[in-house]
Amino acid sequence: MAYPYQIRSLEEYQQQYQQSVMDPEGFWANVADHFYWRRKWDKVLEWNFKEPDVKWFVGGKLNITENCLDRHLGTLGNTPAIIWEPNDPEERHRVITYRDLYNKVCQFANVLKNNGVKKGDRVCIYMGMIPELAIAVLACARIGAVHSVVFGGFSAQSIADRIQDAQASLVITCDGAFRGNKDIPLKSVIDDALIACPSVKKVIVCTRTRTPVSMIKGRDLWWEDEIKQVETMGNPPCPAEEMDAEDMLFILYTSGSTGKPKGVVHTTAGYMVYANYTFVNTFQYQPGEVYFCTADVGWITGHSYIIYGPLSAGATTVMFEGVPTWPDAGRLWSITDKFRVNTLYTAPTAIRSLMGYGLGPVNHKDLSSLKKLGSVGEPINEEAWHWFKDNIGKGRCPIVDTWWQTETGGIMITPIAGITPEKPGYATLPLPGVQPILVDERGQEITGNNVNGNLCIKFPWPGMLRTTYGDHERCRTTYFATYDNLYFTGDGCLRDEDGYYRITGRVDDVLNVSGHRIGTAEVENAINMHAGVVESAVVGYPHDIKGQGIYAFVIAEKMVHDPELSKKDILQTVSRIIGPIAKPDKIQFVSGLPKTRSGKIMRRILRKIAEGEMENLGDTSTLLDPNVVDEIKKGKQ
């Protein structure tokens, strides 16, 4: 059997779950036994949530790429590892076997070594969704360099912040990226970012769009030229660096309730075991199946469920460069048809947007290969759930609504495809090894069913974050200080009469816009950079397609003469500071914000107004100036 730790029945789920709670170390040791270790661990787990200090597989030595590549060569050398579908359906797709991928990763790992990259160095990766992105990620892991992938939609300023925070010494990018009808000039954005990044010594540029770029002598190198050099050296092998179980594997920046994104740190062994276990079990992956996750590698979903989870399992993973709506809204269904996809893992925002195009783009697509469907990133509304189930899964495919976070490394609460029951809108039950708990404001556990509370996790799991890069105290205060001895997720959650979990959304000042996490403070900071802005307050409001939209209340310096022009300027500022994903959907100019006497903005009131709920604003008597509320109500968009 390919995966001895794969759950095959409801009874096995219950059994494994019980064991994972009674004997977590024994449970995870059993799973970890099925990987390739240079040296096995001395101790499975050491932990405290106080500092926090969490170590899995203590003393173990390994390299994650030996588990994703080398160990499959004997049996799966000619099996497709990555099937790549380009943005333009007219361009040819690429099939990269495990042997091809192994060779390319080793080759590029040698390029990195030739350019002075050593174990522990940070490498920033800013590329489009091409196979070379996966190759770059794995090449870093091969030599023990820490990758920090930055999503291609982020601005030069955001990249500069992330590079400085990580003190990256090398950047890997492309000339440009194709996404739908757009051509994103990645290298030119990097050039702008690097003005403020003295730590970066080298930039490797992969050719994709042939957009003209300016190459800086002594700093910038072409990917293709560097590969040729390695070929001239006779393509030497690239032995994998021996990593400690707790050596850093990657940093991934994510938004929180403050203005500054945090560098979430994942380490080698725990992350690998967790990404693999959750992939194999949630999707019930069977050898030979074709699996397609539509996420971008710039987000955690791409890290865990396009690259590390599937490849460590020897799976065939489809990587798509483009967007679901280009050249038409049938693109995901065409890809499913073309590659006989068995599992499709996507986001509610994509489903909702595709629903809007009706069934035309679905009709005449052969979706009979589909066996399993998945959803991730935000709560899925019942309408979208049923549309996905009926029109894409044709009523035959289980849907796994997977709840997890950048910080958790992998899926935490989810149905197991075809095995545990599903319920529209519910992430249902925790995977084995995951111990959720609901607490009230004071941190008291809320027991029983039919209850609501803040979602915490009370025991470590191998995929959890270990720290936030360069600032361990921030990791402690953000996740481990709200409630004693618990990891706090930041999500609100309902446990229904059957004990099923339904995530209700963030309880902090973090927005989820089309599945992208954005801090309100981050957007406010960006808006406030605009010369004409005095102050701003940003809240989320329900949006039919994006899940949440961004609503900004803005105080301008002087009377706004042409509000439309001023709004355009503000949008451009946000785009430049963060990136287009953070652009407010609505901007309202106001003369004041509802503040308490101590100067705190009462967001609760602004949220209600943004939602269109003008009555029931609750107690406004503590406001410094209750009149501003009426003015804001009158001016609502």
**Interacting residue ranges for ligand 7RM, rule: CB under 6 A:** 254, 299-301, 376-379, 401-406, 427, 489-491, 503, 505-506, 512, 517
**Cα-to-chain-centroid distance, residue 324:** 18
Distance CA 440, CA 152 (A): 39
Q: Please state the separation of Cα 178 from the chain's center in Å.
A: 20
CB of 189: closest distance to ligand 7RM in angstroms?
22
Query: DSSP per residue over 465-515, as a string?
Result: --EETT-HHHHIIIIISSSTT-EEEEEEEEE-TTS-EEEEEESSSEEEETT
- Classify strands 533-543 and 80-85 as parallel, antiparallel or unpaired: unpaired
> Shortest distance, CB of residue 411 to ligand 7RM, whole angstroms?
8
Nearer to ligand 7RM, 175 or 401 (CB): 401
Measured from the CB atom, the residue of 261 and 584 that comes closer to ligand 7RM is: 261
Smallest distance from ligand 7RM to CB 343, Å: 16
Q: How far is the CB of 607 from ligand 7RM (least distance, A)?
A: 16
Residue 251 CB, nearest distance to ligand 7RM (Å)?
A: 14
Question: CA neighbours within 13 Å on the CB side: how many for 547?
Answer: 24
CA-CA distance, 314 to 285, in Å (whole number)? 10
Amino acid in the structure at residue 314: G
Whole-number Å distance between alpha carbons of 370 and 279: 17
Q: Which two tokens stand for residue 273?
A: 């075991």
- Asked if residue 256 lies in contact with residue 478, where contact means CB atoms within 8 angstroms, the answer is yes
Closer by beta carbon to ligand 7RM, 201 or else 260: 260
Shortest Å distance, C-beta 450 to ligand 7RM? 19
Nearer to ligand 7RM, 144 or 410 (CB): 410
Nearer residue to ligand 7RM within complex by CB, 144 or 415: 415
Which is closer to ligand 7RM, CB of 102 or CB of 271? 271
State which residue, 254 or 316, has the beta carbon closest to ligand 7RM: 254
65/148 with CB nearer ligand 7RM = 148
What is the nearest approach in angstroms of ligand 7RM to the Cβ of residue 375? 6
Tokens at 380, concatenated: 């899925």
Could you list the beta-strand ranges (E) of 255-390.
262-267, 290-293, 316-320, 343-346, 372-376
Which of 72, 63, 67 has the alpha carbon at shortest distance from 142? Answer: 63
Non-local CB neighbours of 68 within 8 Å, separated by 6+ positions: 138, 307, 308, 311, 312
Helix (H, G, I), strand (E, B) or coil at 219: coil
Strand partners for 174: 206
Please report how close the Cβ of residue 425 comes to ligand 7RM at its closest, in angstroms. Answer: 9
Of 478 and 573, which CB lies nearer to ligand 7RM in the complex structure? 478
Whole-number Å distance between alpha carbons of 225 and 545: 44
Which residue, 208 or 506, has its beta carbon nearer to ligand 7RM? 506
Dist CA 407 CA 201 (whole Å): 30
- Coil, strand or helix: which one is 47? strand
C-beta of 347: minimal distance to ligand 7RM in Å? 8
Segment holding 347, helix H or strand E: none
Distance, CA of 475 to CA of 479 (rounded, Å)? 6
Cβ at position 624, least distance to ligand 7RM in Å: 32
